[in-house]
Structure 1
C-alpha cells in the first residue's frame, strides 16, 4: 500500500474548509485586522484589503495547497516531489525544512499570547464571582501567570492534534468554527446597542477614497492579507496534502479565502464599534495626531475597559469575547503543531499520540524560555518569524511552484477535480501570475518589513 492511498484525508468538504479556514483564522484576524483598519483609515483599509486578498493571497494559497496535494506528504517530502533532478530535490527539501521552521517559531510565541487570552477569560469569570485576588492575578502580567496560561494552551493544542486529521483536527474545527461565528453575532448585536457604536461602524464601512492610494496603507493591507491566510506558514501545504484528489482545488482555496476574510471582516464589525463605545466611556484610544495609542494592547486593554464599564452584562460578554479569541487561537495552533508531527510520523513511522506530546513539549520548552526572558525574546522571535521567515518561505514556495515544478505536471494536478481547469480564465492566468506577479508582491512585502 503506498503512502498516497494509505494517507488520512479530510472526511468532508466542509471539514476541510473549516479546518483550513481555522488554520488561517487566528489572532491576526481578530486582533491584527481591526487594529490595522483602525490605524489605516477604517473603510479605506477594508476596501484595499479585500482587493489584495484576491490578487495576492488567493493565487499563492492555490500554489501551497497544490504542492501539498501533489506531494501527499509533509512539507519536506512534498517539496522534494516537485522535481526529479537530484540537486534540485535537495534544494526543495531545504526549502521544506525552512518552511517547517515557520510554524514551530510562530507557535513558540503564539502559544504565550494564547495563554494570556485563556487567563483573561478565567479572569473575567472570577470577576463575575467576586474573587478579587484571583482576578487581579489572572489579569496581571507575572511570569507565573504567563507560564500557567502557556502550558494550558499547549495541552489543549496537543490533545486536538493527537486525535489525527478526522478525529482531531476536522472534528474540532467543525465545532469550534461555527461557535466562533455564533459568538461574533452575539457580540455584534450587543455592542451595536451601546452608545457610540454606530459612529465606529461608519468609520469602518465608509471608505475615505483619498487614503486608498496611500503606499503605507497598501503595504499594510497586503501584509495583513498575506499573514491572515498564513501564506508561507506551511499549514496550508500540510492541509492540502490531506485533501482528496477528487476535490476542485481552486474552488476549495476560494472557500477557505472567503471564510477567513469573513472572520476578519466580522472582527472589524465588532472591534471598531467597541472602540468607539469605549471612547464614549472616556477611554482614550487615539493620540492627538490621529495614531492609535495602544495598537499592541487594543484587545487586552481597551475592550476589557469597555466591558467593565457596562456592569454585569459587560462582564459576561468579556467571558464570551475571550472565549472567542481562545477558539481562534486554537484553530491556528493545531495547524502549526500538525506540520512537525506529520513530518516525524511519516519519516519515522511513529505513533501520533506520543509524537504530538513530545514535539509539543519541545516547542513548549522554547516558549517557557521566552516567558522567563520576555523583554529580550518575545518581540525578537515574533518579528523574525512573521516579518522575515514567513514571507521568505512564501517567496521560496512561490518560486518552486512557479519555476521548478513542471508546468504540465502542475496543470494535471489542478485538473484533478476540475477537468476544465486549462480552459478556464483562472487556469490561463494563474500559471504565469504565480511565476511573475506573486514573487514581486512578496518581495514588496519583504522590502516593506525592512523599511
Structure 2
C-alpha cells in the first residue's frame, strides 16, 4: 500500500539508517583482515577509490529505483519495467533472507564474545588456546543457537516499530554509539607501545605489493561493504520523500561507511603489530588473534567487551535492513500486517539459522556442493546472487531507465551536470564490467 507508506522523518534519520544498513561485520571484521592480507596502505587507497566511484554509483542507482516507486524491490521493478525485471527484485528479497539466516549466527558470536569478555573466559594470551576455545564454541550444538535466538529477537524488536519509530529511532542511538566506541578503541590502540609500525602499514602505501588479486579484493570489498545487490538500499530508498536529495545523501552514507572501515583498521592493525601478531591472519583475526591481544592489554576485558559490543551493534543495524527487505515485500504486495509478518519471518529465519549453526559442528557431515549449510549460503549469496543483483541493477538503471534515471537523480538535488554525466557513464559501462569481474572471481574463474 504505497499511498499509506511510512517515510523517514528527516534526512539525517535516513542517512544514519542507510549507513547502519551498510556498516556491518564486513566493515569491522572483514575489512581489517582483507587489508592485512593485501599489503595495507595501497589496498586502502584502492578500496577508497572503488567505493567512492563504483560503490557510490550503484548506491545512487538503487536509491533511484526505491524513491521513484515507493515500493519494495519486486514491486519497484514491476512498476518501472515489468517483463522479467521483477525477477531481479525477487532475487534481492531472497538474497536478503538467506544472508539474514546465517548472518544472525555470526552476529550471535559477537554477543557471546561480549559476555565472554566480561567473564574473561576468552582472554588468554596463547593463540592456540584461544583458537581451541573459539572452535569449541562455534561447534557447540546449543550455546551459539541461544545467542542466535537472542540476536534475531533484537532484530525483530527493532523492525516491529516500523520505519520511523523502529529503524530510524534505533539508528539515531546505535550509530553514534558505534562511532563513540570506535573512537575510544582507536585511541587505546594508537597509544599502545609499538603501534606505529601498524599505523605505517595501514596508512603508508606500498604499491609494489599491489597485484591483480589486490584490485579484485578492493573491488569486492567496496561492493559488499555498501549492502548492494540485496534490495536493502532499494527498500530504504522507497521510504525517502518524493523530492529528497539522493546525491548528497548517498555521498554521506558512503562517507560514514568508509569511515567505519578506516577506523576499524586503526583499531585492529596497530594493535596487531604492537603485540607481534600477523596482520594476514584471515577471518580468525577477530575471534582468535584479537582476544589474545586484549588478554595482554591493560584493562583488556573492558576493551574486549567494548569491541565485541561494537561488532554486535554493527551487525544489528545491518540485520534490521535485511529483515526489512523481506517484511516490506509482504506489506506492499500482500497488504499484510507489519507486526505479524516481522514475527513470522523472525521464526522462519531462526528455523534456517539453527541448521546453519549446527553445520559447523554436529551436522558438519551434511554438505551442499562440499560445503556445510552456513558456508554454502555464504557462497551462494556473496559469490552469485549479490553480484548478479548488482550487475542487473546497473544494467537496468544505466540502459533501460536511462533518461528517467538521470531525471530522478537531479530531482531535489543541486548536483553539477558534469557529475551527473560521470555517474551515468560509470553506471552504464564501468560498474557492469567491475561487477562481472567480481562475479567471475567469486566463482573461481579467474
Same structural fold, with TM-score higher than 0.5 when normalized by the shorter chain: yes
Alignment partner of 1:220 is 2:213: no
Alignment partner of 1:74 is 2:72: yes
| Equivalent-residue separation in structure 1 for 2:247 and 2:159 (angstroms) | 26
List aligned pairs for 1:116-135, cutoff 5 A.
116-127=109-120
| Structure 1 residue 50, shift from structure 2 partner | 0.8
| Equivalent-residue separation in structure 2 for 1:153 and 1:278 (angstroms) | 32
Q: Quick one: which of 321, 325, 335 aligns to 1:339?
A: 325
1:258 is aligned to 255
| Equivalent-residue separation in structure 2 for 1:90 and 1:372 (angstroms) | 40
1:306 is aligned to 293
- Secondary structure of the residue aligned to 1:81 is helix
| Equivalent-residue separation in structure 2 for 1:137 and 1:191 (angstroms) | 23
1:388 is aligned to 384
Q: Structure 1: give runs of 5+ residues left out of the alignment.
A: 84-88, 131-135, 287-291
- Secondary structure of the residue aligned to 1:10 is coil
Q: Quick one: which of 103, 106, 110 aligns to 2:99?
A: 106
2:130 is aligned to none
| Structure 1 residue 195, shift from structure 2 partner | 1.8
| Equivalent-residue separation in structure 2 for 1:124 and 1:97 (angstroms) | 40
Alignment partner of 1:241 is 2:238: yes
My pick for the range that moved more, 440-449 or 334-343, is 440-449
Contact kept in structure 1, 2:137 and 2:144, CA below 8 Å: no
List aligned pairs for 1:5-20, cutoff 5 A.
5-20=3-18
| Equivalent-residue separation in structure 2 for 1:399 and 1:339 (angstroms) | 21
2:87 is aligned to 94
| Equivalent-residue separation in structure 1 for 2:292 and 2:437 (angstroms) | 38
Contact kept in structure 2, 1:119 and 1:139, CA below 8 Å: no
| Equivalent-residue separation in structure 1 for 2:308 and 2:136 (angstroms) | 12
Contact kept in structure 2, 1:138 and 1:145, CA below 8 Å: no
| Structure 1 residue 7, shift from structure 2 partner | 1.0
Q: Quick one: which of 260, 266, 270 aligns to 1:273?
A: 270
| Structure 1 residue 60, shift from structure 2 partner | 0.8
- Secondary structure of the residue aligned to 1:73 is coil
| Equivalent-residue separation in structure 2 for 1:332 and 1:119 (angstroms) | 18
| Structure 1 residue 337, shift from structure 2 partner | 0.2
| Structure 1 residue 356, shift from structure 2 partner | 0.4
Contact kept in structure 1, 2:134 and 2:288, CA below 8 Å: no
Contact kept in structure 1, 2:134 and 2:287, CA below 8 Å: no
| Equivalent-residue separation in structure 2 for 1:339 and 1:179 (angstroms) | 24
Q: Quick one: which of 291, 297, 308 aligns to 2:284?
A: 297
List aligned pairs for 1:180-219, cutoff 5 A.
180-212=178-210, 214-219=211-216
| Equivalent-residue separation in structure 1 for 2:28 and 2:410 (angstroms) | 35
Q: Residue by residue, what CA displacement relative to the aligned partner does 1:212-259 show, whole Å, maximum 9, x if unpaired? A: 4x2110110000000001110211110010111222111111110011
Contact kept in structure 1, 2:189 and 2:266, CA below 8 Å: no
- Secondary structure of the residue aligned to 1:90 is coil
| Equivalent-residue separation in structure 2 for 1:210 and 1:98 (angstroms) | 40
Contact kept in structure 1, 2:226 and 2:254, CA below 8 Å: yes
2:46 is aligned to 48
Calculate the TM-score normalised by the size of structure 2: 0.91
| Structure 1 residue 431, shift from structure 2 partner | 2.4
Contact kept in structure 1, 2:75 and 2:333, CA below 8 Å: no
- Secondary structure of the residue aligned to 2:275 is helix
Q: Quick one: which of 397, 403, 413 aligns to 1:408?
A: 403
Q: Residue by residue, what CA displacement relative to the aligned partner does 1:400-441 show, whole Å, maximum 9, x if unpaired? A: 112222x332222223212x55x6111223223312221111
My pick for the range that moved more, 143-152 or 4-13, is 4-13
- Secondary structure of the residue aligned to 2:209 is coil
Contact kept in structure 2, 1:278 and 1:305, CA below 8 Å: no
2:412 is aligned to 417
Q: Quick one: which of 316, 319, 322 aligns to 2:305?
A: 319
Q: Residue by residue, what CA displacement relative to the aligned partner does 1:78-111 show, whole Å, maximum 9, x if unpaired? A: 111222xxxxx13111111111111111111110
Q: Structure 2: give runs of 5+ residues left out of the alignment.
A: 124-132, 365-371
| Equivalent-residue separation in structure 1 for 2:349 and 2:222 (angstroms) | 27
Contact kept in structure 1, 2:159 and 2:320, CA below 8 Å: yes
| Equivalent-residue separation in structure 1 for 2:304 and 2:218 (angstroms) | 28
